[in-house]
Structure 1
Amino acid sequence: MNFDPNKSLADGIRIIENAVIVPFGAGKRGGIRRPAAIYDAGGNYVPLGQCFRSWGRPVTVEPDSPPTDDQIEPTLPGTWLFGGMIYTHFGHFLVETTSRLWALDHLDTPPDGVIFMPRKQAAKPERFISPVLPLLDMFGKDVRNVRAVVRPKRVERLILAPQGFGTGDMMGGSPEFRAYIARHLGDGIEPQGGEKLYISRSRLFSKRGRYLGEKRLEQLFEAEGYEVFHPQDHTLAEQIARYKAASKIVSSDSSALHLAAFFTRPDDRIAIILRRPGKISRDFVTQFRHFANLQPVIANALNGRIYRADNERKQMNEVFAELDFPSLGTKLAETGFITDPSAWTGPTEAELEAERNDLSERLGLPLVLG
């Protein structure tokens, strides 16, 4: 059964007395999956606590066996909402870590806090919480007491809610999740900035995938009246203010769009310039359709030359792609994002080679085609 973005999840909330959270369970799994679970007081596995990347891609699966009593840490008193998996990566944080917070609007009494499983084992789980506390604080006043557990932990009372957001078929969010975001995220933040925004990746550290020649893109968009915006250089509140103000946003297929989609309106214009092969643009189309009731323009101007760092496994989010600038300019002009496509010439081959050499030096690996 697929995730249905039109189906209410509110009736699925459960309260588990003396629940046990097992962030790293018995056994081994491959890929993104790991044994992790919620058990009830009788030691029974509770499927509602399973965490997903998308509906068909779980990141937690039932362990081979529940923990023994001597493996379970002393009881955490009070009532806690299970938040799922906590990520420090901005995109996964927005899409997965926030996916159960909607339940806070459907409780008679606010819980004592929100409790998560960390992505990795660590002696001090605070290292996973500290980087995202300022982000979680933006999602409502009830998301300010946050914990993560790295060993089996009994909780006096655990609130379990169905996961209401994710990638793939979960990208539209549940009705409750969309309502929660609209009600709480960015509440009180006034729009600030211009109407035209280009979201750039040129200042991200070297490993992050991007277009080659993005500095040239920045010049071209600035000539068309766009502000070149580097989200990682701004607080979440500043990012929200910019997205609220903008009525035209152009970006690559990147995590920043997941946040922008929460604040765009049906009459706004969004263009997504593909920076890698694959079907990732479908996620953004789904999100914008369900959160903003708009259809973004997809501009595929990849010229087929894709580079990656040698001796690394091929990951599409870490490739460096060349663009056909004249083709991109034509597409953006036809769809109303720019006025003068004749200026859209790309970097020279010498400039592209210099950029590849610079990236290779910073990565400590040669760049290869493929």
Structure 2
Amino acid sequence: MSDAAASDALALAIRQALGRKPQRARAYWAERRQREPQCPVAWAMLADCELIRGKPHRTQALLAQARVLCPEHPLLDVVAARLEGQRQDWAAAEGHWRSSLAHRDAPRDAWLGLHGVLLRQGEAAAADALWRDATLPAEPSAQAPLLPGWQLHWWSRAAAAETIAIQAQALEPEVAGETLFRQARALAVTGRLAEAEALLGGSNADAVQVVVLLAELAQARADWPRAVERWTHALRFPPGELQSSLLLAARPSAAYPHLCLAQGLVALGRMGEAAQSLQQAARLGGEGEGPFHKLAASVAAAQADWPSLQQAWAKAIAQEGPGRELAIAGLSAAWRMVVLGGAEPAPGEAFFTAPPEVRAENARLRAGLEELRRGPLVAVPGMSVVRDAILMPHLPSKAEFLAGRPSLVMRGGVFDAAGRILPAGIQLGAADHQPEEVIGPVAAFPMLQGRWLLGAPAFWPHIGHFAFDCMGRLWAAERSGLELSGVLYMAGQAGVTAQRELDFVGIRNGANEIRKEKYQYLRDLIEIFTGKPDFMIADGPLRIEECVIADQLLAYDHRKGAGHPLFRDFIRRKVEACLQGSASAWDRIYVSRAKFSALRGPLCGEAVLEDELREEGYFIMYPELLTIRQQLELYRHASKLIFSAGSAVHIAALAQTGDQDIAVIGRFPGQRNFMRAAWAQMEAMGARRMVWVEAIQGMFRATQRKQRVFEAPHALDVERVKQALHAEGFVSSPSSRTAAVMPAVRDSFIERLNAEFPGESYAFIER
């Protein structure tokens, strides 16, 4: 039979099948087989009709008979491939598709079939190569007729989905619907979900394959209301027909649609209906499938059924083993039960519960936290190596959840395998660290292999906070003498979704953001002081093979800002080794903030001060434009350093040699109280002399919103600054030429503020 005749035959079969008239199609092909017993197309199409009717055994029998009369014909291989695909024997299906394509007059739809089977087997690269390298005519023509599905393929290579939909309008309605469905299917398996759904609007909305694909698309997009509606519709079809139409499922089964429906119902909070769907899935053998036990756990948690929750999670862990997503889901369930529901954790095989004596010990430690924070640093530093440590992320309290906002309280941390709080792992300084108990399916927590030094149970990407709150334990990298896998920090507090699930997406995105080039200075600091070129931020629950926990020897607290003598010696050695052989031509340096955005702290008039300090021989330094090593080099070799108060002071403290005079110009009234810890550190590290300069002329108040004093931009009184610096020996002349130009400078600064923040307006308030 010619290619054109085969095209006509297939088109007719498609029209009749899509018109939901399989009996009429079967009668047509049966009659044609009687008239033309040697016609392989008639045999193939009759076998295909039986497959559509859910009679695969008849399909197989017809194919066997046809092979005797006409052993080689591409359409027979096409139907055989479809049969094996329904049986989910993808390797056999691939063989039949390839056999069909080996024929000179192979139907072009066979390319689409092979493409789909390759995707089913996870061979995306091979599928893409097939799609890309297929031999196609320049355009459809009578001399090179294209079957409906292949017309679609030809259009899709260069056209958007909207163009394909317009082109399909030229076909007969049933064929156009099949064309659009095929393209939607191809788009769906390659992740173009929105385009796939848009195309399905032109398909037969009552056809099982269309209903199922629409349901799968809603499921993939987490559009739960539509997913529930569509799966409910899909479950009205016969099970075999429904199962054979599943496209996006990794392992299609009879239970899969019921599990999908249950997932949507759980997401919508319809737990009673979800329980019924799970019962139906269980009757169809769905208990062995991935989401079953997690969904059962969600239902149990909503019903406050703690024993059933434990049982479901024990089965889920046994089935899947440790993993991030499983651990987070289980932790969410435990958090809802214990924190929101007030349930008392009971011992069980799935959820961790510390022994009573450990819980009592933890309670005593928490009772003494305030004294620990107010007290001095440890006199004799120590460290320990904890095997199989548990890292609990920081979770919100019930009050924080009900208020809808997180707090700065850190309730997680690193615990030993028994759930015991490790005192050396409690964060001192600015953070409010109040470790609670270990909860959740610890057996599901992923294992972090290797030996890791705990940098801090928190992480501040702000360089000033990092220098104080995230470096106080790095001394152990040198003193331990152990080979470390890296330095470990913890991300911030997890969020909560509308469905009361813990949300770690935000803190994971934050951790990924810190991998970017603009945070290279953090990696530089860690490499200088530990020899490790990188670090890890734990953005979820973990178990740690070995965790080195060292006492914190520096904290953002004026009582602890000087740091422990051992820590100061450690810093000096590392900086000296880092800068060995370096030199700087600048003896006098002014550290400016003038290049920051207007709300990040530049002082109005700072550019004028820069000009006058240049005349005094000062180098104007913008630390954000330099590497950490370059900054340390400049600070170490200067004898006089003037700062516009900010985080640069913390980094300069690391490079003190005992020969530097330091002046710090406050940027807002009362800032010296914020700088007490940095002041203590600078003096302890060896600054020869420290001077504070307070010379604020006024502030720029926003008229559309409230501002705290330290948030508002301020103007500098340059004359008073020069006088103070002259009195302390930093400049030779106390005079300044700024009085006449300052009104224009303030007006220009207001224009800058208004340009940076459209819709806001600012007014200068003189102090």
TM-score by length of 1: 0.89
Partner of residue 508, structure 2: 123
Structure 1 match to 2:636: 244
Instruction: Give 2:718's aligned residue.
Output: 325
- Which residue of structure 2 aligns with residue 156 of structure 1? 545
1:165 is paired with a residue whose SS is: coil
Matches within 5 A, 1:82-231: 82-84=454-456, 85-119=458-492, 121-123=506-508, 125-130=511-516, 131=519, 132-141=522-531, 143-169=532-558, 170-185=560-575, 187-189=577-579, 190-231=582-623
CA contact (8 A) 2:598 2:752 kept: no
Q: Could you tell me which of 402, 409, 420 is aligned with 1:44?
A: 420
Alignment match of 2:666 (pick from 249, 268, 274): 274
> What SS does structure 2 have at the residue aligned with 1:257?
helix
**Residues 18-45 of structure 1, C-alpha deviations (whole Å, 9 max, x = no match):** 1111232352666422322222111223
Question: CA, structure 1 residues 229+50, in 2 after alignment: closer, same or farther (shift >3 Å)?
Answer: same
Q: Secondary structure at the match of 2:689?
A: coil
Q: What SS is found at the alignment partner of 1:351?
A: helix
Q: Which string of whole-angstrom CA distances, capped at 9 and with x for unpartnered residues, describes residues 133-186 of structure 1?
A: 233222231x33521111110001111112221222221112222122111135
Q: What is the deviation of 1:311?
A: 5.4
Secondary structure at the residue paired with 1:361?
Answer: helix
Kindly provide the CA deviation profile for residues 187-233 of structure 1, in whole angstroms up to 9, marking residues without a partner as x: 24213231000011000123202311111011111111101110111
Q: How far is 1:294 from its partner?
A: 3.0
In structure 2, distance between residues paired with 1:16 and 1:60: 20
Separation in 1, partners of 2:443, 2:602: 45
Inter-partner Cα distance in structure 1 for 2:417 and 2:678: 40
Secondary structure of residue in 1 paired with 2:385: strand
Q: Do 1:210 and 1:319's aligned partners in 2 also have CA atoms closer than 8 Å?
A: no
Work out the CA distance in 1 between the residues paired with 2:643 and 2:688: 16
Q: Which of 381, 388, 397 is the matching residue for 1:10?
A: 381
- On the 8 A contact 1:140/1:185 being kept in 2, the answer is no
Count how many residue pairs are aligned between Structure 1 and Structure 2.
Answer: 362
**Preserved CA contact (<8 Å) 1:76 1:155:** yes
Taking structure 1 as reference, are residues 205 and 135 closer, same or farther at Cα in structure 2, changes over 3 Å only?
farther
Distance in 1 between the 2:709 and 2:572 partners? Answer: 31
Question: Is contact 1:253–1:280 with CA below 8 Å preserved after alignment?
Answer: no
**Is the 1:332–1:338 contact (alpha carbons within 8 Å) kept by the matching residues of 2?**
yes
1:101 aligned partner, one-letter code:
L
Hey, which of these two has a bigger chunk of strand by percent?
A: 1
Deviates more, 1:314-323 or 1:278-287: 314-323
Q: From the superposition, tell whether residues 280 and 83 of structure 1 become closer, same or farther in structure 2 (CA, over 3 Å).
A: same
- Which among 601, 622, 626 is matched to residue 234 of structure 1? 626
Q: How far apart are the structure 2 equivalents of 1:20 and 1:294?
A: 45
1:59–1:312: structure 2 CA closer, same or farther, 3 Å change rule?
Answer: farther
SS, match of residue 596 in structure 2: coil
In the alignment, which residue of structure 2 is the partner of 1:360? 754
Gaps of 5+ in 1: none
The reply to whether residue 21 of structure 1 matches residue 416 of structure 2 is no
Cα separation, partners in 2 of 1:148 and 1:71, compared to 1, 3 Å: farther
Q: Tell me which residue corresponds to 1:297.
A: 691
**Counterpart residue identity of residue 537, structure 2:** A
Shift of 1:98: 1.4
Contact between 1:10 and 1:103, CA under 8 Å: does it hold in 2?
Answer: no
1:10 is paired with a residue of what secondary structure?
coil
1:68 corresponding residue in structure 2: 440
Q: Share of identical aligned residues, percent?
A: 24
Distance 1:313 1:177 in 2: 41
User: 1:340 is matched with which residue?
Assistant: 733
Structure 1: distance between partners of 2:470 and 2:704: 32
Matched-pair contact (CA < 8 Å) for 1:9–1:176: no
Shift of 1:323: 2.3
Cα distance in 1 for partners of 2:561, 2:386 equals: 28
- Give 3-state SS (helix, strand or coil) of 2:552's partner: coil
1:339 Cα deviation from its structure 2 partner: 0.8
Mapped partners of 1:4, 1:47: distance in 2:
14
Measured against aligned partners, the alpha-carbon deviations of 1:76-113 in whole angstroms (never above 9, x if no partner) come to 12221111122221111211121210112221323222
Taking the aligned partners of 2:709 and 2:587, their CA distance within structure 1 comes to: 31
Q: Report the Cα offset of residue 262 of structure 1.
A: 1.5
Aligned amino acid, residue 165 of structure 1: L
More displaced 10-residue stretch of structure 1: 283-292 or 316-325: 316-325
Do the aligned partners of residues 116 and 133 (structure 1) sit closer, same or farther apart at CA in structure 2, a change above 3 Å counting? Answer: same
Whose RCO is larger (CA < 8 A, sep 6+)? 1
- How far apart are 1:10 and its partner, in Å? 2.0
C-alpha separation between the residues in 2 aligned to 1:161 and 1:325?
46
Q: What TM-score results when the alignment is normalised by the length of structure 2?
A: 0.45
C-alpha distance in 2 between matches for 1:239 and 1:51: 28
Distance 1:70 1:154, change over 3 A: closer
SS of 1:342 mapped into structure 2: coil
Q: Structure 1 residues 39 and 244 mapped into 2: Cα distance closer, same or farther (>3 Å)?
A: same
Unaligned runs of 5+ in 2: 1-370, 401-405, 494-505
